[in-house]
A and B are shown apart, each in its own frame.
Chain A
Amino acid sequence: MVAESFSFTIDGIVVQARPGQSVLQACDEAGIYIPRLCHHPDLAPSGACRVCTCRINGRNSAACVTPAAPGMVIENDTPLLTADRRAVIEMLFVEGNHPCPYCVASGDCELQALGYRLGMVAPVQPYQWPGRPIDATHPDIALDHDRCILCARCIEASRMQDGKSVFGFAGRGIAMRLNVDAAGGLGDTQMAAIDKAASVCPVACIVIKRGSYRIPNGERRFDKAPIGSDIEARRARPTP
């Protein structure tokens, strides 16, 4: 109902929102891009990556899990927040193994795209070279733990949409890793390539086999325009 809608401001721009929307959802609708990594429009937000952190009413909060409220004053596109977000992306780059030149997801990878968008020219934090094993037990899906950024998308998708609960987290802190709920690896689970969990990975951790180069390098999602351009295109041009 129109009567229920309210407004808040983000970087001085007035945005209309409805009750029940998160800050991120309302801004997406209004065509204002808040950088995000773990958030997926078809899945419940988990607030795992903190990339969408904005300064909301003077406090840092993740926009994907903060309900929009009337009169909120939000900072999003500021040098300080961009630097914080870039630092998060950089740490993810060095914590796993993310070799863009020979990665199947290059050009289609949300981690890489955020690096570009946020101005990361090269990660300069010390590389960790974790060397996690590849799970190639499934005939149609490859699971490369080296690429995992612990976004929890596959966990949520497998549990809530596929009804299979194939994935979960094991360990804590720096030792936290994606766990497959079968001793024999992914091939021992009920997971199928048509599952939602197989198509929501933002990087190349979960890859459906035999289709990776259908779209050639140079013509992929983020090759020509930065991530978030689609959202920003929704914003009506301001009237002069």
Chain B
Amino acid sequence: MSATLVKHAKPTLATCALTGCFGCHMSLLDIDERILELVDLVDLDVSPFDDKKAFDRPVDVGFIEGGCSNEYNVRELREFRKHCRILVSVGACAINGGVPAMRNTISLRDCLDAVYLHGVSLQGDGVIPNDEDLPLLLDRVYPSHEVVKIDYFLPGCPPSGDALWEGLKALLIGNKPDLPYLLCKYE
């Protein structure tokens, strides 16, 4: 039997935290005792929760938290697109850049200058970090769907635990995640 035909016992879920605050991941933990049900429903694959770093098999559902503010985010997002059958933008940052996108109306140079050269808390002359280990910043923060194809969106800042739960359940049985009025919030 070839490796691609191996059936997983349960559907798989991968999550990643790009440029965001990790609030959407915290919200996924905010489903209270249903987290036991979650363990029964899905196998966690690549995710900050289990610290698995790289894909080694196809995954059913990928949750993207955060927008793309640097080249590392773009690479990780593309990896997710490559390995996830269904890719979902979760939360305001993945959907429109969120709070990090406040810098989108200011040039990157002006941002770096303001923080590292003219910041009020600087002592002496500042320097703009330029280590080769630091991912290069993009000119602005991009929503996920401007980088790869996104299949569904779960809005909110963060989406409530209930919204994530309902959305995930719908996806796992092959439905579109249509959130009811009280769960679909942009804020």
B158: nearest chain-A partner, CB-CB: A101
Contact indicator B99/A101 (Cβ below 8 Å): yes
B65 CB to nearest A CB, Å: 14
Residue from A121, A124, A129 with most neighbouring chain B CB atoms (10 Å): A121
Select A99's contact among B101, B155, B182, beta carbons within 8 Å. B101
B145 lies within 8 A of A124 (CB): yes
Interface magnitude class on chain B:
20 to 34
Please give me the residue from chain A that is nearest to B94 by CB atom: A122
B68-97 residues with Cβ-Cβ distance < 8 A to A are 89, 92, 95-97
- A116 to chain B: closest CB distance in Å? 6
Smallest CB-CB separation from B153: which chain A residue? A122
Q: Which chain A residues lie closer than 8 Å to B157 at the CB level?
A: 100-101
A97 close to chain B: CB less than 8 A: yes
Q: Is the CB of A131 within 8 A of B186?
A: no
Residues of chain B within 8 A of A184, CB atoms compared: none
Given the contacts A100-B186, A112-B186, A226-B181, A122 and B104 also touching, CB distance less than 8 Å: no
1/0 per residue, CB under 8 A from B, across A99-113: the answer is 111110011000010
Q: What residues of A have a CB within 8 angstroms of the CB of B102 in the complex? A: 99
The one of B98, B145, B146, B187 in contact with A107, judged by C-beta atoms closer than 8 angstroms, is B187
Q: Is B105 an interface residue (CB 8 A)?
A: yes
Cβ–Cβ contact A116 & B96, under 8 A: no
The answer to whether A129 and B105 have CB atoms under 8 Å apart is yes
- A224 contacts partner chain B, Cβ-Cβ < 8 Å: yes
Q: Are B105 and A131 in contact (CB under 8 A)?
A: yes
Whether B99 pairs with A102 at a CB distance below 8 angstroms is yes
Closest to B106 in A: A131
In the complex, what distance in Å separates the CA atom of A97 from the CA atom of B99? 12
User: B62 at the A/B interface (Cβ < 8 Å)?
Assistant: no
A115: chain B residues at CB < 8 Å are: 186
Tell me the smallest distance from the CB of A224 to a CB of chain B, in Å.
7
Q: A69: shortest Cβ distance to chain B, in Å?
A: 35
Q: Is B115 an interface residue (CB 8 A)?
A: no
- Whether B106 pairs with A99 at a CB distance below 8 angstroms is no
Whether A123 sits at the interface, judged by CB under 8 Å, is yes
Q: Is the CB of A106 within 8 A of B105?
A: no
Closest B residue to A224 by CB, please name it: B182
| Chain A positions within 8 Å of B185 at CB level | 100
Residue B143 interfacial (CB < 8 Å): yes
- Residue A126 lies at the interface, judged by CB distance under 8 Å to chain B: yes
Considering only residues 88-144 of chain A, those with a C-beta below 8 Å from chain B are 97, 99-103, 106-107, 112, 115-116, 121-124, 126-127, 129-131
Measured between beta carbons, the chain B residues less than 8 angstroms from A121 are 152-155, 179, 184
Quick check: is A190 within 8 A (CB to CB) of the other chain? no
Q: Is B169 an interface residue (CB 8 A)?
A: no
Smallest Cβ distance from B17 to chain A, in angstroms? 17
A31 to chain B, nearest CB (A): 19
Chain A interfacial positions (CB closer than 8 Å to B): 97, 99-103, 106-107, 112, 115-116, 121-124, 126-127, 129-131, 146, 217, 224-226
**Besides A101-B187, A127-B146, 4 other A-B contacts (C-beta < 8 A):** A102-B99, A122-B95, A122-B155, A225-B181
User: What are 26 contact pairs spanning A and B, CB under 8 A?
Assistant: A97-B105, A99-B96, A99-B98, A99-B101, A99-B102, A100-B92, A100-B185, A100-B186, A107-B187, A115-B186, A121-B154, A122-B95, A122-B145, A122-B153, A123-B95, A123-B96, A126-B146, A127-B143, A129-B101, A129-B104, A129-B105, A130-B105, A131-B105, A131-B106, A225-B181, A226-B181
Closest 9 CB pairs of A and B: A131-B105, A101-B157, A100-B186, A122-B153, A106-B187, A129-B104, A100-B187, A122-B95, A121-B153
